[in-house]
Structure 1
């Protein structure tokens, strides 16, 4: 089993959106089997990458679904 890299804690932010924008975003996220939160992060990362501003330390997007079970203690 491959060890997983240490995960940095996720930053929490409050985001206020127009309800119609949120609904459109939530529908789009559902079409791509993502949560609205994941869709927002995906779009922000894409915009940063397109602008050449995505920091190399950003790391990959977190994987979808449940995290893998921790290996049993020795």
Structure 2
């Protein structure tokens, strides 16, 4: 499972990630986390790249729309 967050130094994202990781681990799922530093273009690039390598993707970004996630 991939998780993309814009800023892991931001406390709400830490809380979200800890909860997500705990639930995933209890289900035997490993997660891969990427911090994009708030760069919207990086979020798009990383999401497209990760889609080929993970079974699911959690995107914690208010900037992206569904059409931006379509593979190119």
Q: Please, what TM-score do these two structures have when normalized by structure 1? A: 0.30
Structure with higher RCO (Cα < 8 A, 6+ apart): 2
Judging by fraction of residues, say which structure has more strand. Answer: 2
Q: Please, what TM-score do these two structures have when normalized by structure 2? A: 0.30
Larger Cα-atom Rg = 1
